[in-house]
Amino acid sequence: MPVAIPEYRSEWFRRMAKETQENAMQQGMQQGMQQGIVAGRADGLLVLLHARGCAVTDGDVARIRGSKDIAELDRWLVRASSASSAADIFEG
């Protein structure tokens, strides 16, 4: 036998529930965008290293993909523009 779930009729409750849901959705979208930016930077860095003929180990890939810091990935991208090996981007 189904259990009856009370309907909350309070305008305040409905407004708070709607605001909470909207805030959660907004926060989720922002986190998703941030993750996409980080993944794009990591992919770009790996493409650049490959285009420059730098050997990239599985450990290098894991370190690059494991970074969630956009500033760090940007530093590595700048270094990769003149690096002779993938290891060069992590030094300095």
Q: How far apart are CA 10 and CA 70, in angstroms?
A: 44
Predicted confidence (pLDDT) per residue in 17-27, tens digit = 788 888 888 88
Q: How far apart are CA 31 and CA 19, in angstroms?
A: 18
Q: Which of 10-24, 34-48, 77-91 has the highest mean pLDDT?
A: 34-48
Q: How far apart are CA 24 and CA 36, in angstroms?
A: 18
Average pLDDT over residues 9-31: 83
Predicted confidence (pLDDT) per residue in 44-63, tens digit = 999 999 999 999 999 999 99
Structure-token match 């708070």, residue found: 16
pLDDT at 82: 92
pTM: 0.73
Give Cβ neighbours of residue 88 (< 8 Å, ≥ 6 apart).
54, 79, 80
